[in-house]
Chain A
Amino acid sequence: MKTFILLLFTLILSANHYVAVSNKSIKRISVEKLKALYLKKSFYVHDLKIVPVNLAPKSSARTSFEVNILKMNFSRLKTYWMKQHYLGHRPPISLKSQKSVISFVKKVDGAIGYIEQKNIDDDLAILYEWED
Chain B
Amino acid sequence: MMKHLVMILFIFSFVHSDDFLSTNQDKYVLGEGVQIASLPLYVGGYFSALYQAKEHTKKYQLDDVALLLYGDYEKFSYVSEFEFKELYTYTKTENDAKSEQNTNIHIERLYFDYNYDENYQARVGKYNSPIGFWNMLPVNVLRDTTSNPIVTDIIFPRFTTGVSVTYSSYEKNAFQVDVLAQHNNDLDYNYNNYHMDEHFGLGFTYLLEDLSLKMNLGTFDNLRKNGTSEILYYGLLSFKYEQEKYQLTSELGSQYSQKKATTPYAGYLQGVYNVTQEHAAILRLEVYKDEVTQNKDNIVVFAYTYRPLFPVALKAEYQLHSLEEKNQILFSVSVLF
Could you tell me which A residues sit within 8 Å of B by CB distance? 30, 32-33, 35-36, 41-47, 49, 71, 73, 75-76, 78-79, 81-83, 85-88, 90-91
| Among A32, A43, A79, A85: residue with most chain B CB under 10 A | A85
Q: Using a Cβ–Cβ cut-off of 8 Å, how many residues does chain B contribute to the interface with A?
A: 35
9-residue interface stretch from B75-83, B157-165, B190-198 = B75-83
- Asked if B310 contacts A88 (CB within 8 A), the reply is no
Residues in A neighbouring B71, C-beta threshold 8 A: 88
How many whole Å from A25's CB to the nearest CB in chain B? Answer: 14
| Beta-carbon contact of A36 and B78 below 8 Å | no
B interface residue numbers (CB < 8 A to A): 31-33, 42, 44, 46, 68, 70-72, 74-75, 77-79, 115, 117-118, 136-137, 139, 142, 168, 170-172, 174, 209, 242, 244, 274, 277, 310-311, 336
Known: A79-B310, A82-B336, A85-B32. A30 touches B115 (CB 8 A): no
- From A42, A46, A73, A81, residue with most partner B Cβ within 10 Å: A42
Q: Are A87's CB and B32's CB within 8 A?
A: no
Identify which of B79, B142, B168, B336 contacts A88 (C-beta below 8 A): B79
- Chain B residue numbers with a CB within 8 Å of A33 are 170-171
Complex CA gap A48/B33 in Å reads 27
- Output the residue of A75, A76, A82, A91 with the most chain B CB within 10 A: A82
Task: Pick from A41, A82, A85: contact of B170, CB below 8 A.
Answer: A41
- The CA-CA distance from A47 to B74 in the complex, in Å, is 12
How far, in angstroms, from A78 to B29 measured CA to CA in the complex? Answer: 12
- Report chain B residues within 8 Å CB of A45: 118
Q: Which of B79, B170, B310 has the most CB of A within 10 A?
A: B170
- Once the chains are docked, how many angstroms separate the CA of A35 from the CA of B209? 11
Q: Are A81 and B32 in contact (CB under 8 A)?
A: yes
Contacts A73-B244, A83-B137 given; indicate if A90 touches B68 (C-beta within 8 A).
Answer: no
Residues of A within 8 A of B136 (CB): 87
Q: Are B42 and A86 in contact (CB under 8 A)?
A: no
Please give, as numbers and ranges, the residues of chain A lying within 8 Å of B336 by CB-CB distance.
82, 85-86
- B118 to chain A: closest residue by CB: A44
Q: Given A32-B170, A32-B172, is A43 in contact with B31 using a C-beta cutoff of 8 Å?
A: no
The minimal Cβ–Cβ distance linking A100 to chain B, given in whole angstroms, is 14
Q: Whole-angstrom distance from the CB of B129 to the nearest CB of chain A? A: 14
Query: Provided the pairs A82-B310, A85-B32, A86-B137 are in contact, do residues A43 and B118 lie with their beta carbons within 8 angstroms?
Result: yes
Contact A82 B311 (CB under 8 A): yes
Given the contacts A32-B172, A32-B174, A33-B170, A88 and B78 also touching, CB distance less than 8 Å: yes
Min CB–CB distance A53 → chain B (angstroms) = 13
CA distance in complex: A34, B336 (Å)? 28
Nearest chain B residue, comparing its CB with the CB of A39: B170
Cβ-closest chain B residue relative to A90: B42
Tell me the minimal C-beta distance from B210 to chain A in angstroms.
8
